Structure 1
Amino acid sequence: MLSSLFSISNRVILVSGGSSGIGNLAAKGLAEHGAARVYIVGRRVTKLEELTTTAPGVIIPIVGDVSTIEGCQKITASFVEKEKAAGIIDANICLDLLFSNASISAKEGVWPTDQANPEQISNALLQASDDDWSKHFAINASATQLLSASFLPYLARAGKDGGFKEGRGCIVVNTSISAFYISSDAPLHIYTASKFAAESIAKSLASNFTKLGVRVNTVAIGNIPSELNSVDTSDSLVNKDKVPIGRCGSEDDIVGTLIYLASRAGSYVSGATIILDGGTLVASR
Protein backbone atom coordinates (compact mmCIF):
# COMPACT_ATOMS: atom_id res chain seq x y z
CA MET A 1 0.00 0.00 0.00
CA LEU A 2 2.71 2.47 0.99
CA SER A 3 4.77 1.72 -2.11
CA SER A 4 1.80 2.36 -4.41
CA LEU A 5 0.88 5.53 -2.51
CA PHE A 6 4.24 7.09 -3.35
CA SER A 7 4.83 5.37 -6.68
CA ILE A 8 5.99 7.14 -9.84
CA SER A 9 6.55 3.85 -11.62
CA ASN A 10 6.30 4.15 -15.41
CA ARG A 11 5.68 7.90 -15.26
CA VAL A 12 6.84 10.25 -18.02
CA ILE A 13 8.55 13.35 -16.65
CA LEU A 14 10.15 16.49 -18.06
CA VAL A 15 12.65 18.61 -16.15
CA SER A 16 13.66 22.03 -17.47
CA GLY A 17 17.08 23.24 -16.43
CA GLY A 18 17.91 19.56 -16.19
CA SER A 19 21.55 19.59 -17.19
CA SER A 20 22.95 20.83 -13.88
CA GLY A 21 22.26 21.73 -10.26
CA ILE A 22 18.86 20.91 -8.80
CA GLY A 23 17.51 19.76 -12.17
CA ASN A 24 20.37 17.30 -12.49
CA LEU A 25 19.73 15.88 -9.01
CA ALA A 26 16.00 15.66 -9.66
CA ALA A 27 16.37 13.88 -13.00
CA LYS A 28 18.72 11.24 -11.60
CA GLY A 29 16.59 10.65 -8.53
CA LEU A 30 13.32 10.37 -10.43
CA ALA A 31 14.90 7.91 -12.86
CA GLU A 32 16.18 5.81 -9.95
CA HIS A 33 12.70 5.67 -8.41
CA GLY A 34 10.92 4.14 -11.35
CA ALA A 35 10.10 6.81 -13.93
CA ALA A 36 9.80 5.35 -17.42
CA ARG A 37 11.36 8.35 -19.13
CA VAL A 38 12.80 11.58 -17.75
CA TYR A 39 13.31 14.26 -20.38
CA ILE A 40 15.90 16.86 -19.43
CA VAL A 41 15.81 20.25 -21.13
CA GLY A 42 18.77 22.60 -21.36
CA ARG A 43 20.97 24.58 -23.71
CA ARG A 44 24.31 22.89 -23.01
CA VAL A 45 24.46 19.78 -25.17
CA THR A 46 27.54 18.29 -23.51
CA LYS A 47 26.07 18.61 -20.02
CA LEU A 48 22.81 17.01 -21.13
CA GLU A 49 24.61 14.10 -22.76
CA GLU A 50 26.74 13.53 -19.65
CA LEU A 51 23.62 13.11 -17.53
CA THR A 52 22.00 10.65 -19.94
CA THR A 53 24.85 8.20 -19.32
CA THR A 54 23.68 7.77 -15.70
CA ALA A 55 20.42 6.16 -16.86
CA PRO A 56 20.62 5.26 -20.57
CA GLY A 57 17.24 5.05 -22.24
CA VAL A 58 15.51 6.60 -19.25
CA ILE A 59 17.06 10.07 -19.08
CA ILE A 60 16.60 11.64 -22.51
CA PRO A 61 18.00 15.03 -23.57
CA ILE A 62 16.13 17.83 -25.30
CA VAL A 63 18.12 20.88 -26.32
CA GLY A 64 15.93 23.94 -26.01
CA ASP A 65 15.30 27.46 -24.74
CA VAL A 66 12.43 27.94 -22.28
CA SER A 67 12.56 31.74 -22.34
CA THR A 68 10.46 32.23 -25.49
CA ILE A 69 7.12 31.01 -26.83
CA GLU A 70 8.82 29.56 -29.90
CA GLY A 71 11.42 27.84 -27.76
CA CYS A 72 8.78 26.18 -25.56
CA GLN A 73 6.78 25.06 -28.58
CA LYS A 74 9.91 23.49 -30.08
CA ILE A 75 10.62 21.68 -26.81
CA THR A 76 7.08 20.31 -26.82
CA ALA A 77 7.39 19.20 -30.45
CA SER A 78 10.68 17.47 -29.68
CA PHE A 79 9.07 15.70 -26.71
CA VAL A 80 6.26 14.41 -28.94
CA GLU A 81 8.73 13.17 -31.55
CA LYS A 82 10.77 11.32 -28.94
CA GLU A 83 7.67 9.75 -27.42
CA LYS A 84 6.68 8.49 -30.86
CA ALA A 85 10.19 7.09 -31.26
CA ALA A 86 9.62 5.22 -27.99
CA GLY A 87 6.61 3.54 -29.57
CA ILE A 88 3.84 5.70 -28.09
CA ILE A 89 1.00 6.50 -30.50
CA ASP A 90 -0.26 10.09 -30.81
CA ALA A 91 -3.44 9.52 -28.82
CA ASN A 92 -1.51 8.10 -25.85
CA ILE A 93 1.27 10.67 -25.60
CA CYS A 94 1.03 12.33 -22.20
CA LEU A 95 3.21 13.99 -19.56
CA ASP A 96 2.81 12.97 -15.93
CA LEU A 97 5.06 15.58 -14.31
CA LEU A 98 6.50 18.85 -15.55
CA PHE A 99 9.20 20.14 -13.21
CA SER A 100 9.67 23.76 -14.26
CA ASN A 101 13.12 24.28 -12.84
CA ALA A 102 15.19 26.43 -15.23
CA SER A 103 16.62 29.43 -13.43
CA ILE A 104 19.38 32.03 -13.50
CA SER A 105 20.87 34.26 -10.84
CA ALA A 106 23.33 36.83 -12.14
CA LYS A 107 25.41 39.10 -9.94
CA GLU A 108 23.59 42.35 -9.31
CA GLY A 109 26.55 44.45 -8.32
CA VAL A 110 28.50 44.83 -5.09
CA TRP A 111 26.29 45.79 -2.17
CA PRO A 112 27.86 48.67 -0.20
CA THR A 113 29.16 48.08 3.30
CA ASP A 114 27.79 51.49 4.30
CA GLN A 115 24.06 50.82 4.06
CA ALA A 116 23.29 54.28 5.40
CA ASN A 117 24.72 55.90 2.26
CA PRO A 118 21.94 56.61 -0.28
CA GLU A 119 24.38 57.36 -3.12
CA GLN A 120 26.22 54.05 -2.72
CA ILE A 121 22.97 52.08 -2.55
CA SER A 122 21.66 53.92 -5.62
CA ASN A 123 24.81 53.07 -7.58
CA ALA A 124 24.64 49.42 -6.53
CA LEU A 125 21.01 49.08 -7.63
CA LEU A 126 21.72 50.66 -11.02
CA GLN A 127 24.57 48.30 -11.91
CA ALA A 128 22.17 45.68 -13.30
CA SER A 129 21.35 46.27 -16.96
CA ASP A 130 18.00 46.24 -18.73
CA ASP A 131 19.11 42.95 -20.26
CA ASP A 132 19.71 41.49 -16.78
CA TRP A 133 16.12 42.29 -15.83
CA SER A 134 14.72 40.87 -19.07
CA LYS A 135 16.70 37.62 -18.85
CA HIS A 136 15.77 36.98 -15.22
CA PHE A 137 12.06 37.44 -15.83
CA ALA A 138 12.10 35.49 -19.09
CA ILE A 139 13.77 32.41 -17.58
CA ASN A 140 12.72 32.57 -13.92
CA ALA A 141 9.12 33.71 -14.40
CA SER A 142 7.72 33.80 -17.95
CA ALA A 143 9.04 30.32 -18.74
CA THR A 144 6.79 28.92 -16.02
CA GLN A 145 3.68 29.96 -17.94
CA LEU A 146 5.04 29.35 -21.44
CA LEU A 147 6.25 25.82 -20.77
CA SER A 148 3.16 24.92 -18.76
CA ALA A 149 0.84 26.21 -21.48
CA SER A 150 2.75 24.36 -24.20
CA PHE A 151 2.48 21.04 -22.37
CA LEU A 152 -1.05 21.52 -21.01
CA PRO A 153 -2.79 19.15 -23.48
CA TYR A 154 -0.35 16.34 -22.63
CA LEU A 155 -0.58 16.99 -18.89
CA ALA A 156 -4.39 16.98 -19.04
CA ARG A 157 -4.34 13.72 -20.98
CA ALA A 158 -2.27 12.09 -18.22
CA GLY A 159 -4.95 12.97 -15.70
CA LYS A 160 -7.79 11.30 -17.61
CA ASP A 161 -9.34 7.91 -16.83
CA GLY A 162 -8.44 8.02 -13.15
CA GLY A 163 -4.92 9.35 -13.66
CA PHE A 164 -5.75 12.57 -11.80
CA LYS A 165 -6.51 10.61 -8.62
CA GLU A 166 -3.18 8.82 -8.98
CA GLY A 167 -1.29 12.12 -9.07
CA ARG A 168 -0.67 12.10 -12.80
CA GLY A 169 -0.68 15.30 -14.83
CA CYS A 170 0.95 17.82 -12.51
CA ILE A 171 3.29 20.78 -12.64
CA VAL A 172 5.85 21.61 -9.96
CA VAL A 173 7.60 24.97 -10.19
CA ASN A 174 10.95 25.46 -8.51
CA THR A 175 10.80 28.92 -7.00
CA SER A 176 12.93 29.90 -4.01
CA ILE A 177 12.66 31.05 -0.43
CA SER A 178 13.89 34.33 -1.92
CA ALA A 179 10.28 34.85 -2.99
CA PHE A 180 9.40 35.13 0.71
CA TYR A 181 12.62 36.19 2.40
CA ILE A 182 14.91 39.12 1.62
CA SER A 183 18.31 39.44 3.23
CA SER A 184 19.40 43.03 3.82
CA ASP A 185 23.01 41.83 3.87
CA ALA A 186 23.09 40.88 0.19
CA PRO A 187 19.75 41.62 -1.49
CA LEU A 188 19.17 40.12 -4.93
CA HIS A 189 16.37 42.36 -6.10
CA ILE A 190 16.04 41.06 -9.67
CA TYR A 191 16.25 37.40 -8.67
CA THR A 192 13.84 37.89 -5.77
CA ALA A 193 11.32 39.77 -7.92
CA SER A 194 11.45 37.14 -10.66
CA LYS A 195 10.94 34.29 -8.19
CA PHE A 196 8.04 36.11 -6.53
CA ALA A 197 6.56 36.48 -10.01
CA ALA A 198 6.99 32.73 -10.60
CA GLU A 199 5.09 32.02 -7.37
CA SER A 200 2.27 34.29 -8.50
CA ILE A 201 2.13 32.78 -11.98
CA ALA A 202 2.00 29.26 -10.54
CA LYS A 203 -0.92 30.19 -8.28
CA SER A 204 -2.78 31.68 -11.26
CA LEU A 205 -2.13 28.55 -13.30
CA ALA A 206 -3.39 26.38 -10.45
CA SER A 207 -6.67 28.30 -10.35
CA ASN A 208 -7.22 27.62 -14.05
CA PHE A 209 -5.57 24.25 -14.63
CA THR A 210 -6.83 22.24 -11.65
CA LYS A 211 -10.37 22.10 -13.02
CA LEU A 212 -8.83 20.67 -16.22
CA GLY A 213 -7.23 17.85 -14.26
CA VAL A 214 -3.77 19.40 -13.95
CA ARG A 215 -2.46 20.30 -10.50
CA VAL A 216 0.11 23.08 -10.06
CA ASN A 217 2.33 23.49 -6.99
CA THR A 218 5.60 25.17 -6.14
CA VAL A 219 8.65 24.18 -4.15
CA ALA A 220 10.45 27.09 -2.49
CA ILE A 221 13.97 25.77 -2.11
CA GLY A 222 16.54 27.09 0.30
CA ASN A 223 20.02 25.94 1.25
CA ILE A 224 20.69 23.28 -1.39
CA PRO A 225 24.00 23.29 -3.27
CA SER A 226 23.69 24.11 -6.97
CA GLU A 227 25.43 26.10 -9.68
CA LEU A 228 23.35 29.14 -8.73
CA ASN A 229 24.84 29.46 -5.27
CA SER A 230 28.04 28.91 -3.35
CA VAL A 231 26.63 26.79 -0.53
CA ASP A 232 29.27 24.78 1.30
CA THR A 233 28.09 21.18 1.56
CA SER A 234 29.78 20.59 4.91
CA ASP A 235 27.05 20.31 7.55
CA SER A 236 29.51 21.41 10.21
CA LEU A 237 29.68 24.84 8.56
CA VAL A 238 25.91 25.36 8.43
CA ASN A 239 24.81 28.18 10.76
CA LYS A 240 21.95 26.77 12.86
CA ASP A 241 20.75 30.29 13.61
CA LYS A 242 19.94 30.59 9.90
CA VAL A 243 19.23 26.92 9.05
CA PRO A 244 17.84 25.33 12.25
CA ILE A 245 17.94 21.78 10.87
CA GLY A 246 21.71 22.20 10.75
CA ARG A 247 22.48 20.77 7.33
CA CYS A 248 22.21 21.55 3.64
CA GLY A 249 19.43 20.06 1.59
CA SER A 250 20.16 17.03 -0.58
CA GLU A 251 19.02 15.08 -3.61
CA ASP A 252 16.75 12.97 -1.39
CA ASP A 253 15.00 16.09 -0.09
CA ILE A 254 14.28 17.35 -3.59
CA VAL A 255 13.31 13.99 -5.08
CA GLY A 256 11.19 13.02 -2.08
CA THR A 257 9.17 16.22 -2.40
CA LEU A 258 8.67 15.74 -6.13
CA ILE A 259 7.61 12.11 -5.68
CA TYR A 260 5.06 13.16 -3.07
CA LEU A 261 3.55 15.83 -5.32
CA ALA A 262 3.56 13.61 -8.43
CA SER A 263 2.10 10.48 -6.81
CA ARG A 264 -1.18 9.33 -5.29
CA ALA A 265 0.06 10.67 -1.95
CA GLY A 266 -0.08 14.28 -3.15
CA SER A 267 -3.00 14.02 -5.55
CA TYR A 268 -5.21 16.31 -3.43
CA VAL A 269 -2.63 19.11 -3.37
CA SER A 270 -2.89 22.01 -5.82
CA GLY A 271 -2.02 25.69 -5.52
CA ALA A 272 0.30 24.97 -2.60
CA THR A 273 3.87 25.95 -1.83
CA ILE A 274 6.15 23.49 -0.07
CA ILE A 275 8.95 25.27 1.77
CA LEU A 276 12.08 23.14 1.49
CA ASP A 277 14.59 25.16 3.48
CA GLY A 278 15.51 23.40 6.72
CA GLY A 279 13.59 26.00 8.74
CA THR A 280 15.30 29.07 7.28
CA LEU A 281 12.13 31.10 6.86
CA VAL A 282 10.97 30.31 10.39
CA ALA A 283 14.34 31.37 11.79
CA SER A 284 14.23 34.66 9.89
CA ARG A 285 11.01 35.83 11.56
Structure 2
Amino acid sequence: METTNLFRLDGRIALVTGGSRGIGKMIAAGFIAQGAKVYISSRKPAACAEAAVELGPNCIALPQDVSTVAGCQALAAQIAALEPRLDILVNNAGAAWGAPFEAFPESGWDKVMDLNVKSPFFLTQALHDLLKASGRREQPAKVINITSIDGIRLNPQETYSYHASKSALIYLTRRMAARLVRDAINVTSIAPGAFASEMNRVARDHGDAVAKLIPARRIGVDEDMAGAAIYLASRAGDYVIGETITVDGGVAHANTGSGFSE
Protein backbone atom coordinates (compact mmCIF):
# COMPACT_ATOMS: atom_id res chain seq x y z
CA MET A 1 0.00 0.00 0.00
CA GLU A 2 1.33 3.42 -1.02
CA THR A 3 1.16 5.78 1.94
CA THR A 4 3.85 8.35 1.25
CA ASN A 5 1.52 10.59 -0.78
CA LEU A 6 -1.68 10.14 1.22
CA PHE A 7 -1.96 13.83 2.03
CA ARG A 8 -0.44 15.35 -1.12
CA LEU A 9 -2.55 17.46 -3.48
CA ASP A 10 -0.12 17.76 -6.39
CA GLY A 11 -1.86 18.74 -9.61
CA ARG A 12 -5.21 19.30 -7.90
CA ILE A 13 -7.29 22.41 -8.60
CA ALA A 14 -9.21 23.91 -5.70
CA LEU A 15 -11.63 26.77 -5.10
CA VAL A 16 -12.04 28.22 -1.61
CA THR A 17 -14.80 30.77 -1.04
CA GLY A 18 -14.19 33.31 1.66
CA GLY A 19 -10.54 32.50 1.06
CA SER A 20 -9.01 35.90 1.66
CA ARG A 21 -8.97 35.66 5.46
CA GLY A 22 -9.68 33.51 8.49
CA ILE A 23 -10.50 29.84 8.10
CA GLY A 24 -10.68 30.04 4.31
CA LYS A 25 -7.18 31.46 4.11
CA MET A 26 -5.88 28.80 6.52
CA ILE A 27 -7.30 26.09 4.26
CA ALA A 28 -6.01 27.71 1.06
CA ALA A 29 -2.49 27.94 2.52
CA GLY A 30 -2.61 24.30 3.57
CA PHE A 31 -3.71 23.15 0.13
CA ILE A 32 -0.97 25.16 -1.56
CA ALA A 33 1.66 23.68 0.77
CA GLN A 34 0.55 20.21 -0.36
CA GLY A 35 0.93 21.07 -4.05
CA ALA A 36 -2.51 22.30 -5.11
CA LYS A 37 -3.39 25.22 -7.33
CA VAL A 38 -5.91 27.27 -5.38
CA TYR A 39 -8.41 29.89 -6.47
CA ILE A 40 -9.66 32.04 -3.63
CA SER A 41 -12.83 34.09 -3.81
CA SER A 42 -14.26 36.82 -1.63
CA ARG A 43 -16.55 39.76 -2.19
CA LYS A 44 -13.79 42.34 -1.64
CA PRO A 45 -11.45 42.43 -4.67
CA ALA A 46 -8.59 44.23 -2.91
CA ALA A 47 -8.54 41.82 0.04
CA CYS A 48 -8.75 38.86 -2.32
CA ALA A 49 -5.85 40.10 -4.43
CA GLU A 50 -3.74 40.89 -1.37
CA ALA A 51 -4.26 37.40 0.06
CA ALA A 52 -3.38 35.78 -3.27
CA VAL A 53 -0.09 37.69 -3.41
CA GLU A 54 0.69 36.63 0.15
CA LEU A 55 -0.09 32.97 -0.54
CA GLY A 56 2.13 32.85 -3.62
CA PRO A 57 2.05 32.02 -7.32
CA ASN A 58 -0.14 28.95 -6.91
CA CYS A 59 -2.94 31.13 -5.53
CA ILE A 60 -5.24 33.06 -7.87
CA ALA A 61 -7.80 35.67 -6.79
CA LEU A 62 -11.31 35.44 -8.23
CA PRO A 63 -13.36 38.06 -6.37
CA GLN A 64 -17.08 37.44 -6.39
CA ASP A 65 -20.06 37.91 -4.10
CA VAL A 66 -21.62 34.46 -3.71
CA SER A 67 -24.50 35.61 -1.50
CA THR A 68 -26.86 35.32 -4.48
CA VAL A 69 -27.52 32.54 -6.96
CA ALA A 70 -26.42 34.89 -9.75
CA GLY A 71 -23.13 35.43 -7.95
CA CYS A 72 -22.62 31.69 -7.55
CA GLN A 73 -23.26 31.16 -11.24
CA ALA A 74 -20.89 34.00 -12.16
CA LEU A 75 -18.09 32.48 -10.07
CA ALA A 76 -18.68 29.08 -11.65
CA ALA A 77 -18.46 30.68 -15.10
CA GLN A 78 -15.17 32.36 -14.15
CA ILE A 79 -13.66 29.03 -13.11
CA ALA A 80 -15.02 27.27 -16.19
CA ALA A 81 -13.31 29.83 -18.40
CA LEU A 82 -9.98 29.05 -16.75
CA GLU A 83 -10.05 25.33 -15.96
CA PRO A 84 -11.44 22.17 -17.58
CA ARG A 85 -12.24 20.65 -14.19
CA LEU A 86 -12.44 21.39 -10.47
CA ASP A 87 -11.04 18.84 -8.03
CA ILE A 88 -11.86 20.48 -4.69
CA LEU A 89 -14.53 23.00 -3.68
CA VAL A 90 -14.52 24.48 -0.19
CA ASN A 91 -17.75 26.29 0.63
CA ASN A 92 -16.42 28.52 3.38
CA ALA A 93 -17.98 31.95 2.81
CA GLY A 94 -20.35 32.69 5.66
CA ALA A 95 -21.94 35.29 7.90
CA ALA A 96 -23.22 35.58 11.45
CA TRP A 97 -25.77 37.82 13.15
CA GLY A 98 -26.59 38.30 16.80
CA ALA A 99 -29.57 40.14 18.28
CA PRO A 100 -32.06 39.63 21.13
CA PHE A 101 -35.02 37.38 20.31
CA GLU A 102 -37.51 40.24 20.62
CA ALA A 103 -35.61 42.40 18.13
CA PHE A 104 -34.04 39.88 15.77
CA PRO A 105 -34.51 41.35 12.27
CA GLU A 106 -35.61 39.67 9.07
CA SER A 107 -32.49 41.07 7.40
CA GLY A 108 -30.29 39.22 9.91
CA TRP A 109 -32.20 36.04 9.18
CA ASP A 110 -32.13 36.28 5.40
CA LYS A 111 -28.49 37.38 5.05
CA VAL A 112 -27.20 34.49 7.14
CA MET A 113 -29.46 31.78 5.75
CA ASP A 114 -28.78 32.85 2.16
CA LEU A 115 -24.99 32.88 2.48
CA ASN A 116 -24.59 29.94 4.87
CA VAL A 117 -27.11 27.49 3.38
CA LYS A 118 -28.40 28.62 0.01
CA SER A 119 -25.06 29.62 -1.48
CA PRO A 120 -23.17 26.36 -0.78
CA PHE A 121 -25.96 24.44 -2.48
CA PHE A 122 -26.23 26.65 -5.56
CA LEU A 123 -22.49 27.12 -5.99
CA THR A 124 -22.01 23.35 -5.89
CA GLN A 125 -24.86 22.99 -8.36
CA ALA A 126 -23.28 25.57 -10.68
CA LEU A 127 -19.92 23.75 -10.48
CA HIS A 128 -21.40 20.28 -10.85
CA ASP A 129 -20.12 19.74 -14.38
CA LEU A 130 -16.56 20.79 -13.49
CA LEU A 131 -16.59 18.55 -10.41
CA LYS A 132 -17.92 15.64 -12.48
CA ALA A 133 -15.12 16.22 -14.98
CA SER A 134 -12.67 15.59 -12.13
CA GLY A 135 -14.37 12.82 -10.19
CA ARG A 136 -13.36 9.20 -10.67
CA ARG A 137 -13.94 6.20 -8.43
CA GLU A 138 -10.22 5.91 -7.79
CA GLN A 139 -9.90 9.67 -7.13
CA PRO A 140 -13.20 11.40 -6.33
CA ALA A 141 -13.71 15.14 -6.49
CA LYS A 142 -14.30 16.77 -3.12
CA VAL A 143 -16.78 19.29 -1.77
CA ILE A 144 -16.05 20.46 1.78
CA ASN A 145 -18.66 22.60 3.52
CA ILE A 146 -17.49 24.68 6.46
CA THR A 147 -20.17 24.36 9.11
CA SER A 148 -19.70 25.04 12.83
CA ILE A 149 -19.96 23.43 16.23
CA ASP A 150 -22.84 25.89 16.67
CA GLY A 151 -24.74 23.57 14.36
CA ILE A 152 -24.14 20.74 16.84
CA ARG A 153 -24.58 22.40 20.22
CA LEU A 154 -25.77 25.75 21.55
CA ASN A 155 -23.53 28.63 22.45
CA PRO A 156 -24.65 31.38 24.86
CA GLN A 157 -25.15 34.02 22.16
CA GLU A 158 -28.51 34.82 20.56
CA THR A 159 -27.37 33.96 17.04
CA TYR A 160 -30.63 32.42 15.89
CA SER A 161 -30.09 32.35 12.13
CA TYR A 162 -26.45 31.30 12.51
CA HIS A 163 -27.34 28.29 14.68
CA ALA A 164 -30.13 27.32 12.31
CA SER A 165 -28.01 27.78 9.20
CA LYS A 166 -25.10 25.67 10.42
CA SER A 167 -27.38 22.86 11.58
CA ALA A 168 -29.05 22.98 8.19
CA LEU A 169 -25.73 22.87 6.35
CA ILE A 170 -24.60 19.81 8.31
CA TYR A 171 -27.69 17.93 7.22
CA LEU A 172 -27.54 19.38 3.70
CA THR A 173 -23.99 17.98 3.52
CA ARG A 174 -25.42 14.50 4.08
CA ARG A 175 -28.19 14.97 1.53
CA MET A 176 -25.79 16.29 -1.12
CA ALA A 177 -23.33 13.50 -0.34
CA ALA A 178 -25.98 10.86 -0.97
CA ARG A 179 -26.65 12.26 -4.43
CA LEU A 180 -23.22 13.37 -5.59
CA VAL A 181 -21.39 10.19 -4.63
CA ARG A 182 -23.00 8.74 -7.77
CA ASP A 183 -20.84 11.17 -9.75
CA ALA A 184 -17.67 10.31 -7.80
CA ILE A 185 -17.96 13.57 -5.83
CA ASN A 186 -17.52 13.23 -2.07
CA VAL A 187 -19.27 15.82 0.10
CA THR A 188 -18.18 16.34 3.71
CA SER A 189 -18.05 19.15 6.25
CA ILE A 190 -15.76 20.59 8.89
CA ALA A 191 -17.32 22.08 12.03
CA PRO A 192 -14.77 24.48 13.54
CA GLY A 193 -14.75 25.68 17.10
CA ALA A 194 -12.82 28.71 18.34
CA PHE A 195 -10.40 30.02 15.72
CA ALA A 196 -9.16 33.60 15.65
CA SER A 197 -10.92 35.32 12.76
CA GLU A 198 -12.94 38.36 11.80
CA MET A 199 -16.12 36.36 12.35
CA ASN A 200 -14.97 35.01 15.71
CA ARG A 201 -13.63 38.20 17.24
CA VAL A 202 -13.99 36.84 20.76
CA ALA A 203 -11.43 34.11 20.01
CA ARG A 204 -9.28 36.60 18.12
CA ASP A 205 -9.29 39.30 20.79
CA HIS A 206 -9.64 37.22 23.97
CA GLY A 207 -7.93 33.96 23.06
CA ASP A 208 -6.52 33.26 26.51
CA ALA A 209 -9.90 33.64 28.20
CA VAL A 210 -11.64 31.50 25.58
CA ALA A 211 -8.95 28.80 25.92
CA LYS A 212 -9.93 28.26 29.57
CA LEU A 213 -13.37 27.08 28.40
CA ILE A 214 -11.95 24.56 25.92
CA PRO A 215 -11.01 21.03 27.06
CA ALA A 216 -7.77 21.22 25.01
CA ARG A 217 -6.98 24.51 26.81
CA ARG A 218 -6.23 26.48 23.64
CA ILE A 219 -7.99 27.96 20.65
CA GLY A 220 -7.43 26.51 17.20
CA VAL A 221 -4.45 27.50 15.07
CA ASP A 222 -3.89 27.49 11.32
CA GLU A 223 -2.42 23.98 11.23
CA ASP A 224 -5.46 22.50 12.97
CA MET A 225 -7.82 23.75 10.29
CA ALA A 226 -5.47 23.12 7.37
CA GLY A 227 -4.82 19.57 8.58
CA ALA A 228 -8.49 18.63 8.69
CA ALA A 229 -9.16 20.11 5.26
CA ILE A 230 -6.10 18.45 3.71
CA TYR A 231 -7.23 15.10 5.12
CA LEU A 232 -10.67 15.38 3.54
CA ALA A 233 -9.35 16.79 0.24
CA SER A 234 -6.58 14.23 -0.23
CA ARG A 235 -6.37 10.49 -0.87
CA ALA A 236 -6.42 10.02 2.90
CA GLY A 237 -10.08 11.08 3.02
CA ASP A 238 -11.37 9.35 -0.11
CA TYR A 239 -13.59 6.94 1.84
CA VAL A 240 -15.17 9.65 4.03
CA ILE A 241 -18.57 10.67 2.66
CA GLY A 242 -21.30 12.78 4.27
CA GLU A 243 -19.38 13.12 7.53
CA THR A 244 -18.91 16.25 9.63
CA ILE A 245 -15.58 16.45 11.43
CA THR A 246 -15.49 18.69 14.48
CA VAL A 247 -12.25 20.61 14.94
CA ASP A 248 -12.83 22.34 18.26
CA GLY A 249 -10.48 21.11 20.98
CA GLY A 250 -13.23 18.98 22.51
CA VAL A 251 -15.94 21.60 23.09
CA ALA A 252 -18.79 19.76 21.36
CA HIS A 253 -17.98 16.16 22.28
CA ALA A 254 -15.52 16.10 25.18
CA ASN A 255 -16.91 18.74 27.50
CA THR A 256 -18.17 17.95 31.01
CA GLY A 257 -20.88 20.57 30.71
CA SER A 258 -19.29 23.09 33.05
CA GLY A 259 -17.22 24.62 30.27
CA PHE A 260 -14.08 23.06 31.69
CA SER A 261 -12.50 19.64 31.28
CA GLU A 262 -11.61 17.57 34.32
Structure 2 length-normalised TM: 0.91
What does residue 232 of structure 2 align with? 261
| Aligned equivalent of 2:243, options 248, 262, 272 | 272
TM superposition shift of 1:65: 1.9
Say whether residues 1:154 and 2:154 are aligned partners: no
Seq. identity, %: 31
Distance in 1 (CA, whole Å) between partners of 2:27 and 2:206 is 21
Distance in 2 (CA, whole Å) between partners of 1:165 and 1:31 is 22
Distance in 1 (CA, whole Å) between partners of 2:46 and 2:110 is 26
TM superposition shift of 1:233: 7.0
What does residue 248 of structure 1 align with? 219
What does residue 30 of structure 2 align with? 29
Distance in 2 (CA, whole Å) between partners of 1:12 and 1:277 is 27
TM superposition shift of 1:24: 1.5
- SS of 1:217's equivalent in the other structure is strand
Say whether residues 1:103 and 2:94 are aligned partners: yes
TM superposition shift of 1:189: 1.2
Is residue 235–residue 246 contact of structure 1 (8 Å, CA) maintained in 2? no
Aligned residues: 254
What does residue 63 of structure 2 align with? 63
- SS of 1:275's equivalent in the other structure is strand
What amino acid is aligned across from residue 77 of structure 2 in structure 1? A
Largest Rg, 1 or 2: 1
What does residue 171 of structure 1 align with? 143
Deviation digits for residues 157-181 of structure 1 (CA, Å, limit 9, x no counterpart): 2113xxx433x41100000000011
Distance in 2 (CA, whole Å) between partners of 1:211 and 1:51 is 35
What amino acid is aligned across from residue 99 of structure 1 in structure 2? V
TM superposition shift of 1:55: 3.5
Is residue 144–residue 202 contact of structure 1 (8 Å, CA) maintained in 2? no
TM superposition shift of 1:2: 3.2
Distance in 1 (CA, whole Å) between partners of 2:127 and 2:177 is 14
What does residue 8 of structure 2 align with? 7
Distance in 1 (CA, whole Å) between partners of 2:256 and 2:215 is 10
What amino acid is aligned across from residue 165 of structure 1 in structure 2? E
Per the alignment, do residues 235 and 66 of structure 1 end up closer, same or farther by CA in structure 2, a change over 3 Å counting? closer
TM superposition shift of 1:54: 1.9
What does residue 45 of structure 2 align with? 45
Deviation digits for residues 170-219 of structure 1 (CA, Å, limit 9, x no counterpart): 10000000001113x32311110111111121111011001111000010
What does residue 260 of structure 2 align with? none
Unpaired runs of 5+ residues, structure 1, are 84-92, 110-123
Distance in 1 (CA, whole Å) between partners of 2:91 and 2:163 is 17
TM superposition shift of 1:27: 1.3
RMSD between aligned alpha carbons? Answer: 1.7
Distance in 1 (CA, whole Å) between partners of 2:142 and 2:195 is 23
- Map of 1:220-259 to 2, 5 A cutoff? 220-230=191-201, 231-232=203-204, 236-240=208-212, 242-259=213-230
- SS of 1:181's equivalent in the other structure is coil
- SS of 1:268's equivalent in the other structure is coil
What does residue 200 of structure 1 align with? 171
Per the alignment, do residues 202 and 54 of structure 1 end up closer, same or farther by CA in structure 2, a change over 3 Å counting? same
| Aligned equivalent of 1:142, options 112, 115, 118 | 118
- Map of 1:112-151 to 2, 5 A cutoff? 124-151=100-127
Distance in 2 (CA, whole Å) between partners of 1:26 and 1:234 is 23
Deviation digits for residues 210-250 of structure 1 (CA, Å, limit 9, x no counterpart): 1111000010100111110121477654444x311111111
